[in-house]
Amino acid sequence: MNVRKMIVLCAAAVMLSSAGCLRLFVRKAGSVAFGEKSSTLVLQLSAQMPNEFHYVEVAPLTSELGAKLPPTLLNDIRVALVKQINENEDTKKIYTAGDVAPGMPALVVEGVVYDLEKGSRVQRAATIGGEAFIIARFAIKDKETGDTLAVFNSRGFLQDSLYFGGNINDAVRQLNLGVIDYLKGKLHEKEKNE
């Protein structure tokens, strides 16, 4: 066997065996470059699976933060969530988000923004701090019965971003991942594994 082929085969074997490491490296590199992350804390979860429904209605979000809240942020979160549900490769196969006709079996997503920090774009761009975040509590309900199927806190945040520091709206997509994870059944999987 020629030496060049042997080197290529060894390199391929190393790459395949470290695919998990490579994936972790790419994910970490992405979080450093763009600084976007999310986290979800499940508070209540019924056994009823969300895929029993095919429609999702996102109610207007609320908050008691007053002047601390940018004027259009609550609507921006709602519009972005509808868009994420309708465009996500997994959720768009099952759900349609938007206005739901009366009597249609649907999930209703309600949200309350509890905390917000705009942070410093300059510090994030310099990767020396300036974390920005949004924390919201989402409740998922059966529209017909009013039963609460899930309650969870979701957090979207930006930190140490080389991507010009980002702004608070860049954390919205990450915040909404908690709802996307619920619709995909990931929160149920997480509960089983804990």
Residues contacting 109, CB < 8 A, separation 6+: 56, 57, 58, 59, 81, 138, 139, 140, 179
Nearest CA-CA partner of 177 in 154, 148, 153, 159 = 154
The torsion of the CA quartet 132, 135, 140, 143, rounded to 10 degrees, works out to -90
pLDDT at 184 over 50: yes
Strands 62-63 and 55-58 turn out to be unpaired
Please name the residue that has the structure tokens 């082929």.
5
Confidence category of residue 112, pLDDT binned at 50, 70, 90 = very high
> pTM score, two decimals?
0.73
**Worst-scoring range by mean pLDDT, 32-36, 102-106, 140-144?**
32-36
The 10s digit of each residue's pLDDT in 10-44 is 555 555 454 444 433 333 333 333 444 667 888 89
DSSP bridge pairs for 74 = none
CA distance linking residue 113 with residue 120, whole number of Å? 20
Q: Residues 151, 44: contact at Cβ < 8 Å?
A: yes
For the chain, domains (ranges, CATH) are 1-34 (no CATH), 36-193 (3.40.50.10610)
CA distance linking residue 15 with residue 185, whole number of Å? 31
DSSP 3-state assignment of 107?
Answer: strand
Mean pLDDT value of segment 132-141: 92
The 10s digit of each residue's pLDDT in 58-91 is 999 999 888 888 889 999 999 999 999 999 999 9
Q: Residues 25, 74: contact at Cβ < 8 Å?
A: no
Confidence category of residue 4, pLDDT binned at 50, 70, 90 = low
DSSP 3-state assignment of 105?
Answer: coil
pLDDT of 16: 47
Could you tell me how far CA 18 lies from the centroid of its own chain? 27
